[in-house]
Amino acid sequence: MGMILSPLKNLIDPSIFEEALDNVQDDFATKFVQMAIDIAQKAFDHVFEISLVNFLLYAASLTGAILMFHLKKSGFYLYTLAQILLIFVAPVFIGFNFIINIGVLFASVFSILFIALYAINFKHLS
């Protein structure tokens, strides 16, 4: 959807972000909202690239899962590589900051969990 709708990013008026920032009174909240606005603007700028890379990596991950279903070790390696790369898509295009780091942390937990669960059964793959 992101790749298909990426041309629509030009229809969003960037001034809405500044208006949202003007309505915030607290200093900490202002910094947090400014960080969120910067992330949103960078995400809008790279929506096609982020969506394309995510699509390719999710397709590789699904392919790896299907190969593991057919008891192929290559599926585990493909799945693991795709999951690790998926964790770093946003930081590559948007950059590292507090909010992105929190997202990477949560994504890492689930990726590591599933990789570990698949690794437990690695001995059954050929």
Could you tell me which residue, 108 or 18, shows the higher pLDDT? 108
Q: Could you tell me the two tokens for 98? A: 């507090």
Task: Give Cβ neighbours of residue 89 (< 8 Å, ≥ 6 apart).
Answer: 50, 53, 54, 57
The CA distance from 17 to 38, in Å, is 9
Distance, CA of 40 to CA of 116 (rounded, Å): 33
Structure-block tokens of residue 26: 């607290």
pTM of the model: 0.73
From 88, 85, 76, select the one nearest 114 (Cα to Cα).
76
For the chain, percent of residues with pLDDT exceeding 70:
77
Q: Who's near 1: CB < 8 A, 6+ residues apart?
A: 51
pLDDT at 56 over 90: yes
pLDDT (average), residues 16-34: 68
Please state the rounded mean pLDDT for residues 78-95.
90
Q: In whole angstroms, what is the distance from residue 57 CA to residue 55 CA?
A: 6
pLDDT at position 67 over 60: yes
Alpha helix ranges (H) inside 10-97: 15-22, 27-45, 47-69, 73-87, 89-94
Nearest to 60 by CA among 40, 37, 79: 79
Q: pLDDT band for 17, please (50, 70, 90 cuts).
A: low
